[in-house]
Structure 1
């Protein structure tokens, strides 16, 4: 009887011990999920960064959620979703929409410019060039594409580029292409043009193809449903698209033309925000509600330490920071007053 009792206790003890070991192994094997909200135009370099980061940090799984930059911010401030890293295609969205409640620092980490992308399926692709591009777009059978300005910086930047084209060429390009084919309107105040984008934006789909973010327009472009697309140069290069380089005075890519870019503003009724035309600069931060702040900062540090990834993807790197920059990043950036 005693032997039987001892045997029973031995079996029970072995089971409990095995259970403890199994739980311990599960905890040891459980990985941190690093959640990143980022602009669609950062998808290619961030995929590469994520794979490299995971390789160096085997305890971390990077989960990326690409979307229009405004949408990324809204998921944090309106829907109260948690992100460990936020990277947007317009750095000013962070100070305007997130600081000080949801963020207290950001880094301007890359640049870009707007180009007019097309494929060999695009109508009149053999004719278009840097001098006649807007005349080609004005043809009745040509469809143009841009992302929704309410959701995506590339969308409101496309509006800026087209309005700046009015001034540069002294032609009613914006009226012909956009105002006559949407419920957007323009106000002129002291030689500054304000493009007013309604919350419920409507476009003539016979002329304009619009999606939430710019990368969603790649499929219709490549299928021939859209002829020409206003998009970042980096995205055009990453997807091996043909493109027309637009004049420096209108493509939002050069600091020396900041004064010209600032003549145009976009007012978004959806957010009650006014955005001034300026050079395209990406911003990145670790939101205050991040669940894994330490790892989020480590990911940002990883990006700053590997600028070659951005460079080869057509997004020249920067390292200018504003705000309460984490100590781990201070020796990698130039800190400026916000």
Structure 2
């Protein structure tokens, strides 16, 4: 009888331990921070760092992990390399439908603007005391002056820099600006069409003459060079110059890609990158989306809501990057965002891709767990009483 009682109690202990482990394991997992992975343009690094901080304060169980790179490269990480991100934010909204539709995205939101400037260090850049919006291109021509822009194949700021320099020829009525600054110092070429538009072609390797031109993967990498005096001038977004306390030449609106009023002028310049795709000049507008292959699309959507909402708009405004109010949605915008954005009247209709049904989250232990354990104890108790009888 004694041995029987010991076996019964041993069985009871094992059952209770296994049951408790099964019921309570989900709680330990639920307490772990959930990752929100964000791929974004380098020019968004500073405002999105602040957005990350504020978002995580509101959502302590979420961990935003950002990767900053050129917008083209960021998208290729998803479409070509096979990486997965919960949010994609591009410095050129048109890259989302152009490179991600229909397989990797079917909507985007335009949420911020910017414009091109020529940044410099007032203490270390050559001719810094002389430069103005009227003579900047003349000073860049001077011997010993080194200027830079980002790689047009990887970063929208790069192909926009080329557009600015060609538009400058039209605005200042000087047909040699692009030739002297780009054509003679890189492998980038240019041709003029019969309709008066210009096409600049960028090879895989732009082959810059480094004694005159510096080309880096993303525009923000040029900031440190300007700050240290290793580079005299760099084509940057206004927001980047403001965020890094750099002086800059405020370029004319006719060439800085900032105004919808000059959209017809901007369209006169195009850039064909090494992938064979052509970018046409237009006002600078940023776009954001949740890729279709996101691991955590719901959490990605929460971060997008924060970025395009009131708090995010204030962050961008404070950092010299005007938000679009209200944000403008295009495509199959999720229901959760429709109250925050102004939808296009005519939306594109990309081929839909089925979205897998979400896996139901495991239930946390409740009354059912208590009743199950109580039932087990009752059965064992009756077995012991019957054994004693």
Residue 178 of structure 2 corresponds to which residue in structure 1?
174
Distance 1:67 1:11 in 2: 56
**CA apart distance, 1:28:** 2.3
Correspondence 1:17-96 to 2 at 5 A: 23-96=25-98
Residue 284 of structure 1 corresponds to which residue in structure 2?
288
Q: Does 1:244 align with 2:249?
A: yes
Match of 2:39, SS? strand
Correspondence 1:319-338 to 2 at 5 A: 319-336=327-344, 337-338=346-347
Distance 2:54 2:14 in 1: 45
Tell which deviates more after alignment, 118-127 or 157-166: 118-127
- Structure 2-normalised TM-score? 0.83
Residue 195 of structure 1 corresponds to which residue in structure 2?
200
Distance 1:28 1:325 in 2: 29
Number of aligned pairs? Answer: 337
Distance 1:194 1:50 in 2: 39
Q: Does 1:186 align with 2:158?
A: no
Structure having the larger proportion of residues in strand:
1
Distance 2:15 2:60 in 1: 34
Residue 152 of structure 2 corresponds to which residue in structure 1?
149
**CA apart distance, 1:222:** 1.1
**CA apart distance, 1:26:** 2.7
- Pick from 163, 167, 171 the counterpart of residue 166 of structure 2: 163
1:251-283 deviations in Å (ceiling 9; x for gaps): 001110101110000011x22100100000001
Aligned-pair Cα RMSD in Å: 1.8
Distance 2:165 2:259 in 1: 16
Cα distance, 1:6–1:53 mapped onto 2, change above 3 Å? same
Match of 2:293, SS? coil
Residue 220 of structure 2 corresponds to which residue in structure 1?
215
**CA apart distance, 1:128:** 1.0
Distance 2:99 2:297 in 1: 20
Distance 1:24 1:75 in 2: 33
Could you tell me which runs of 5 or more consecutive residues in structure 2 were left unpaired when the two chains were aligned: 348-389
Match of 1:258, SS? helix
**CA apart distance, 1:218:** 1.2
Q: Larger C-alpha radius of gyration, 1 or 2?
A: 2
Distance 2:139 2:14 in 1: 81
- Pick from 116, 140, 145 the counterpart of residue 137 of structure 1: 140
1:212-237 deviations in Å (ceiling 9; x for gaps): 00011111111111100000000000
**CA apart distance, 1:148:** 0.2
- Structure 1-normalised TM-score? 0.95
1:24-66 deviations in Å (ceiling 9; x for gaps): 4431222211101100000111111111111111221101011
Distance 1:35 1:81 in 2: 10
**CA apart distance, 1:200:** 2.1
Distance 1:328 1:69 in 2: 25
- Pick from 255, 277, 289 the counterpart of residue 273 of structure 1: 277
Distance 1:26 1:146 in 2: 49
Distance 1:156 1:233 in 2: 16
